[in-house]
């Protein structure tokens, strides 16, 4: 069986003048292969390297990288894995190479052009034992998810097809290229999976019409010495359950 290990927990939100880009990075491991699902934004690079080291792995141990889509906060660290086999949908690849109004990481695309790639086109293709591809468009035309077999039911790793708990509960995805297609993708995911790992939130359990977060999701922001807000040198952001 393929094991799921969340290396970097995504967090939702954007600032008044920038996208935060705190997106999930997930490691899939089987007896013979290590696959990374998305590579995160550039700011997560040191944390990603440390998370791999903590598990006794280096970048060279990553055999493949599954890209849910090609936005900046999901592909910025692709350069760490030049030897790996990269999976993405052909639709997403073609879209990213012509898109002008999307948060595409244009500087990464030339690197990806030189890397070994497998273009996904047909639902059900297995990239690791018990881990199969599912096209889940809407956020972008070629957004992709993975369905992971588990005795308790399938886990869906969905990138920004579902960014957070509210999108999973309501079916409404902010920043979708096609909101109606996006809604149908969410309905399909909820019909197939009992657990969802979104692009910008912690793991979520799906129980009927209820969405239940697994554990807490919080971020601590620390300021430079001498800078405070309300007398505090750091602030905590914690999502309500």
What domains can be seen in the chain, in order of their start residue? 3-238 (3.60.15.10)
What's the confidence (pLDDT) of residue 106?
72
Q: Is the pLDDT of residue 26 over 90?
A: yes
What is the rounded average pLDDT for all residues in the chain?
94
**Digit-coded pLDDT (tens) for 143-184:** 999 999 988 899 999 999 999 999 999 999 988 999 999 999
pLDDT at site 208: 85
Share of the chain above pLDDT 90, in %: 84
pLDDT at position 101 is 66
Whole-structure pTM value: 0.95
Mean pLDDT value of segment 136-141: 96
Nearest to 192 by CA among 203, 206, 182, 178: 206
Tens-digit pLDDT profile for residues 87-115: 999 999 999 988 776 677 677 888 899 99
What's the rounded mean pLDDT across residues 66-82?
Answer: 96
Encode the chain in three state secondary structure.
CCEEEEEECCCCCECCCCECCCCCEEEEECCCCEEEECCECHHHHHHHHHHHHHCCCCHHHCCEEECCCCEHHHHCCHHHCCCCEEEEEHHHHHHHCCCCCCCECCCCHHHHHHCEEEEECCCCCEEECCEEEEECCCCCCCCEEEEECCCCCCEEEEECCCCCHHHHHHCCCCCCCCHHHHHHHHHHHHHHCCEEEECCCCCEEEECCEEEECCCCEEEEECCCCCCECCECEEEEECCC
Q: What is the mean pLDDT of residues 37-42?
A: 96
pLDDT in tens, 191-211: 999 999 999 999 999 998 899
Please give the pLDDT value at position 175: 87
Overall average pLDDT of the 119-138 stretch: 95
């Amino acid at each position: 069986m393929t094991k799921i290990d969340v290396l970097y927990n995504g967090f939702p939100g954007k600032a008044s003048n920038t996208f935060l880009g705190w997106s999930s990075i997930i490691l899939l491991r089987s007896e013979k292969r290590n696959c990374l699902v998305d590579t995160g934004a550039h700011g997560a690079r040191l944390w990603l390297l440390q998370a791999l080291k903590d598990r006794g792995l280096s970048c060279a141990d990553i055999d493949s990288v599954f890209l849910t889509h090609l936005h900046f906060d999901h592909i910025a660290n692709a350069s760490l894995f030049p030897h790996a086999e990269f999976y993405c949908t052909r639709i997403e690849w073609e879209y990213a190479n012509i898109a002008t109004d999307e948060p595409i990481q244009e500087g990464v695309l030339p690197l990806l052009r030189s890397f070994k790639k497998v273009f996904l086109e047909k639902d059900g293709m297995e990239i690791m034992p018990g881990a199969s591809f599912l096209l889940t468009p809407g956020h972008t035309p070629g957004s992709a998810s993975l369905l992971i077999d588990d005795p308790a039911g399938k886990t869906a790793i969905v990138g920004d097809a579902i960014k957070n708990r509210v999108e999973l509960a309501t079916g409404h995805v902010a920043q979708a290229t096609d909101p109606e297609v996006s809604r149908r993708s969410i309905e399909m995911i909820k019909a197939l999976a009992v657990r969802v790992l979104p692009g910008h939130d912690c793991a979520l359990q799906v129980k009927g019409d209820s969405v239940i977060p697994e554990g807490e999701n919080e971020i601590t922001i620390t300021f430079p010495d001498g800078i405070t807000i309300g007398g505090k040198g750091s602030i905590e952001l914690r999502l309500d359950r």
